[in-house]
């Protein structure tokens, strides 16, 4: 088991917070944005749900890739992608462009299972419950702060600036990830072992434990 400093765990919590923040900040803005593009209630519902669909589809895949190649590379690729996806959304000129942007925000933001697996990698069974509780707190804080901050920025500067602000937070998070130690010592052997034993990969099992 890899042991990391408490500062590394706090970086992880911030990764989780930003992941959820950049997914949720647009929730209160969706009706205004969609109506500005001349669309109605159906399109509002679709735009509201497409990021969650992307996250749901991507989470198990990102978890399996993280078991094979390591947690840190997945975090870095996902956070860089979220930054670009939010910039794309901010420059959207029509509804379909906006829909694609939000879909990719969801796909690239599907890293909470990877974060749960990271915690499992670096904690003992006795410690794990406490750290997973803090992980859940980071999720809920992101879910709470995202809509509030998104609405506040929209009120004073518009929804496009809110998207660019979210991209800036993702960029800061990407830089912080350089100080996050890798938690998986031998990702390839871990993946091979799981295939041979037909057990769930650690990222999938950790995500299930975190939501139990």
Condensed to tens digits (0 to 9), the pLDDT of residues 60-103 reads: 898 899 988 999 999 999 999 999 999 999 999 999 999 999 99
Token pair recorded at residue 161: 């600036």
CA distance 6 to 10: 6
Looking at residue 200, its pLDDT comes to 47
6-29 per-residue burial string, b: 16 or more CB within 10 A, e: under 16: eebbebbbbbbbbbbbbbbbbebb
42 CB-contact burial (10 Å; exposed 0-12 / middle 13-18 / buried 19+):
exposed
pTM: 0.80
Looking at residue 93, its pLDDT comes to 92
Helix (H) or strand (E) holding 135: helix 125-157
Token pair recorded at residue 196: 């041979």
């Amino acid at each position: 088991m890899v042991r990391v400093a408490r500062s590394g765990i706090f970086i992880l919590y911030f990764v989780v917070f930003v992941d959820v923040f950049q997914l949720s900040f647009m929730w209160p803005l969706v009706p205004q944005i969609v109506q500005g593009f001349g669309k109605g209630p159906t399109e509002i519902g679709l735009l509201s749900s497409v990021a969650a669909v992307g996250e749901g589809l991507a989470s198990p895949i990102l978890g399996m890739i993280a078991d094979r190649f390591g947690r840190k590379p997945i975090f870095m690729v996902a956070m860089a992608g979220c930054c670009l996806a939010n910039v794309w959304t901010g420059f959207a000129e029509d509804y379909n462009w906006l829909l694609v942007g939000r879909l990719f925000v969801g796909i690239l933001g599907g890293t909470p299972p990877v974060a749960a697996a990271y915690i499992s990698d670096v904690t003992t069974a006795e410690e794990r419950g406490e750290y997973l509780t803090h992980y859940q707190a980071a999720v809920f804080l992101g879910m709470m702060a995202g809509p509030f901050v998104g609405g506040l920025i929209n009120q004073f500067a518009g929804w496009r600036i809110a998207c660019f602000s979210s991209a800036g937070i993702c960029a800061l998070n990407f830089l912080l990830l350089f100080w996050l130690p890798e938690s998986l010592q031998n990702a390839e052997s871990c993946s091979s072992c799981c295939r041979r034993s037909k057990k769930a990969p650690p990222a999938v099992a950790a995500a299930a434990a975190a939501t139990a």
